[in-house]
Homo-oligomer: A and B are copies of this chain.
């Protein structure tokens, strides 16, 4: 089994469920069904790590304090990059070092995905040009204003157009299941959903 590395970007004022939902789904997926397989990493298709602009602890929205596994300066290569949202995306969009890092990772990664207003960061990095995309309902207009070539899909829960974007906050869970489905197939995605007692919503056809 080839284990794929997933990097989840963290930053001050990242929305908690935006990163925790995909972290949960991708870190708990297993190719071997059942409860016992979750006790080891033996059949884990993903190795999920957190990456932040620096190694300092970040303070998420609501005050949750998280120590990232890596900084963008020392992060390993990842196959999947996930950019969550939150009010901290506004500062991140002005962080040229972080944007450059995101662009560089996107060139080498198999898949780039966002949750909620993480799409604003991807747009600012130029990664959504000419693509269909979505974001939190309160940020549709802002997303469109950042790059007029982005076709904003208002009302979609997950949009897969080369780069995968998802609607607000809890929609990141559905985005993550789409990632599991793409790399591991429907059965693994559904069994992982059963494990965390989640009913997937608005699942688009696999890209």
Contact for A196 among B17, B49, B64, CB less than 8 A: B17
Contact for A24 among B67, B169, B195, CB less than 8 A: B169
A27 neighbours in B (Cβ, 8 Å): 16, 61-63
Contact B39 A87 (CB under 8 A): yes
Q: Number of A residues whose C-beta is below 8 Å from B?
A: 42
Select from chain B the residue with minimum beta-carbon distance to A15: B24
Contact for A20 among B17, B28, B199, CB less than 8 A: B17
A169 neighbours in B (Cβ, 8 Å): 24, 195-198
A62 neighbours in B (Cβ, 8 Å): 23-24, 27-28, 48
A21 located at the interface, meaning its Cβ lies under 8 Å from any Cβ of chain B in the complex? yes
Select from chain B the residue with minimum beta-carbon distance to A170: B198
Contact for A197 among B50, B61, B170, B198, CB less than 8 A: B170
State the CA gap A138–B33 with chains docked (Å). 13
State the CA gap A20–B170 with chains docked (Å). 11
A17 neighbours in B (Cβ, 8 Å): 20-21, 24, 196
Contact B173 A195 (CB under 8 A): no
Interface majority SS on A: helix, strand, loop or mixed?
Answer: mixed
State the CA gap A65–B48 with chains docked (Å). 12
A94 located at the interface, meaning its Cβ lies under 8 Å from any Cβ of chain B in the complex? no
State the CA gap A195–B61 with chains docked (Å). 14
A57 located at the interface, meaning its Cβ lies under 8 Å from any Cβ of chain B in the complex? yes
A183 located at the interface, meaning its Cβ lies under 8 Å from any Cβ of chain B in the complex? no
Contact B63 A64 (CB under 8 A): no
Smallest CB-CB A-B distances: 3 pairs: A27-B62, A20-B20, A17-B24
User: 28 A–B contact pairs at CB < 8 A?
Assistant: A16-B24, A17-B21, A20-B20, A24-B62, A27-B62, A28-B61, A39-B87, A48-B62, A49-B63, A50-B65, A57-B67, A63-B69, A65-B66, A65-B68, A65-B69, A66-B66, A66-B67, A137-B197, A157-B197, A167-B197, A168-B195, A168-B196, A168-B197, A169-B197, A169-B198, A170-B196, A170-B197, A170-B198
